Structure 1
């Protein structure tokens, strides 16, 4: 398609900032740019009808990292790095709540729970032995012990009687969150074009030449906020990671309330009203789940259903209502990449499955990097 004169003049001329990706990071970045540059022309390009990565396709966890996940990360990160990671997640959730309001995103602080299978008694014992040390390590972040032991009275089967709880964690409604962010962007006179995929770009010295699936144009600055989709374009330590998710029909009398982690966070589930949302299983086939294909696979779907019927809701006849998947961005390190790629090209990517928690902060950092 060749754009018309009117389209070029109205949308594609004198663009100060072109943000690629309309997820949490991209929208947060654009809103921060508007605060610092009230007269700038800001354009967001999004390849999907809706954000095509994880922002509308996640589980809606407002979490900071389970106890076993933190212990696992300490094998490859220093204590200072872990404290920084958890602090950024805690701060990011607070930024999101302050920007949008708890009612708009249906935020509910039910707490986050880590549960352990009966066969994982040694894993649980190791985690509980380390809990006081981890609480002391994270005391500067939360100002209180992050983790505590609570009875695991959730009606599950094959689960150890005690769970590890972080009472500060919560859950939110992913769709309402994104609607609220999109509303903020419209109010801020930020232009968003959907169905436009960026296929290439080149820093020309004073402008960035941008090629898309629909047209070519130039912008003063290009900011990539495409998380797991950015690896091929940037050559960074970044790979896509698919997360498969399902949600049940309403379950009468569902007592489950909270956000739950199992197997170092590789499985996660929560209530959505009286439904159960369940996702994960990527560790069962990491090579196969290193993909940008938004599909499902029989093996992981079966593992999710087995967990649902045998552990979470044993003996209950419950039907799956919807299935979907989202694409995260991961790498050898948990720290996000906020980096200048060339004089006028910047990126904020590799959110490591914590986009809800850190997307707002990464977006703010990306905006700051592009304007310093």
Structure 2
């Protein structure tokens, strides 16, 4: 379909900043650019009818890493790197809450818990052994112990009687958060165009020519906030990672409040009102889940259902209301990639499954790269 003169003139002429991706990172990038350049023309392009990757498809965890995940990270990264990353996640959460307000995102500070299956005695004992050290490492940031041992009061089955508790975790309503962000962007005169796929871009002396299929336009600067879909622009440093999720029908007298982690964060569940939202199990099939295809698989969905019925809600008749998937951006290193790719092209990607925590901060850092 050929665009009219009016469409070209109003939407695609005189563009100063074009952001690819309308998720948490992309919208925070746009808002930060508006703060820095009040008179600029800012355009956000989104290939889906809604944010396509994980921003509207995540589990709504306001978290920065379970104890076992942090211990695992310390085996592959330096203490300084892990601490700096947790600080970024924590600062990002505060930035998100400050920008939108707790009411708008339905933030609930119920705290977070880590559960250990009975067979994972070595993992459980390692967490108890290293908990004082991790608390010491994080004390300068939180001015208190982050992790503590608590008796399981939720009635989980086939698990150790103690949980690891973190009072600094919370949960949000993902849909409410993204709607609040979109309203903020609209109020700041930032245009979002959905169902627009960037098929190519070509850098010129004074900007970038961006192709949207058979139509192209010029922008002074191009910023990619495509996370799980960023493999091509990062030479494979970002790999897609699909996350599958399910949510139950309402459960009478549900007495579970909080966010819960199992197995280094590979499994995670929470209450949403009187429902349980449960996701993960990517580690059952790393190769199969390294994909940009939105789909659910029997292998992973069956495992989620099994744990739901046998461990989390034993003896409860549970009906599944809905299932879906999202695409995260992972890599060999957990640090996000925020960098200038060329004279007029930038990217902020590889959020490592922590988009809610770190996305707002990465958006701000990406916008601050631009001269």
Which bracket does the TM-score occupy, shorter chain normalised? over 0.9
For the residues of structure 2 that align with 1:205 and 1:287, how far apart are their CA atoms?
A: 41
Answer with 177-186 or 209-218: which moved more: 209-218
Give 1:249's aligned residue: 249
If the length of structure 1 is used for normalisation, what is the TM-score?
0.99
CA distance in 2, matches of 1:83, 1:250: 39
Matches within 5 A, 1:193-272: 193-213=193-213, 215-272=215-272
Structure 1 unmatched runs, 5+: none
State TM-score, norm by structure 2: 0.99
Q: Aligned residue for 2:43?
A: 43
- For residues 120-131 of structure 1, the aligned pairs below 5 Å read 120-131=120-131
What secondary structure does 1:129 align onto?
A: helix
Give the match's secondary structure for 2:159: coil
Deviations 1:62-109 (A, max 9, x none): 001111101111111000000001000100000000000000000000
Q: Deviations over 1:266-303 (max 9, x none)?
A: 00000000000000000000000000001011100101
Shift of 1:186: 0.3
Could you say which residue in structure 2 is the equivalent of 1:95? 95
Matched residues in 2 for 1:294 and 1:141: separation? 37
Partner of 2:9: 9
Tell me which residue corresponds to 2:183. Answer: 183
Corresponding residue number in structure 2 for 1:153: 153
Deviation (angstroms), 1:236? 4.3
Are 1:257 and 1:271, in contact at CA under 8 Å, matched by a contact in 2?
A: yes
* Residue 59 (structure 1) aligns with: 59
2:69 paired residue number: 69
Shift of residue 121 of structure 1? 1.6
| Paired residue secondary structure (1:75) | helix
Bigger drift between 92-101 and 207-216 goes to: 207-216
In structure 2, the partner of 1:113 is 113
How is 1:289-368 mapped onto 2 (pairs within 5 angstroms)?
Answer: 289-368=289-368
- State the shift of 1:116 in Å: 0.2
Give structure 1 regions of 4+ aligned residues with deviation exceeding 6 angstroms: none
- Secondary structure of the equivalent of 2:341? strand
Asked if the contact 1:196–1:214 (Cα under 8 Å) also holds between the matched residues in 2, the reply is: no
**Deviation readout 1:205-227 (Å, 9 max, x if unpaired):** 21101111362111000000000
> Could you tell me how far apart the structure 1 residues matched to 2:144 and 2:8 are?
55
CA RMSD between the two structures: 0.8
Contact 1:200 1:233 (8 Å CA) reproduced: no
Q: Distance in 2 between matches of 1:361 and 1:167?
A: 22
CA distance in 2, matches of 1:197, 1:213: 7
Structure 1 residues 236 and 339, CA gap change in structure 2 (3 angstroms) = farther
CA positional deviation for 1:155: 1.7
CA pair 3-266 structure 1, distance change in 2 beyond 3 A: same
- Paired with 1:319 and 1:215, the residues of 2 have a C-alpha distance of 47
Give 1:234 deviation, angstroms: 3.3
Which residue matches 1:81? 81
Which moved further from structure 2: 11-20 or 117-126? Answer: 117-126
Q: Distance in 2 between matches of 1:282 and 1:150?
A: 28
**Could you tell me which residue of structure 2 aligns to residue 28 of structure 1?**
28
Tell me the equivalent position of 1:170.
170
Residue 86 of structure 1 contacts residue 141 of structure 1 at CA under 8 Å; is this kept in 2? no
Distance in 1 of aligned mates of 2:293 and 2:157: 33
Match of 1:137 in 2: 137
How many residues align? The count is: 371
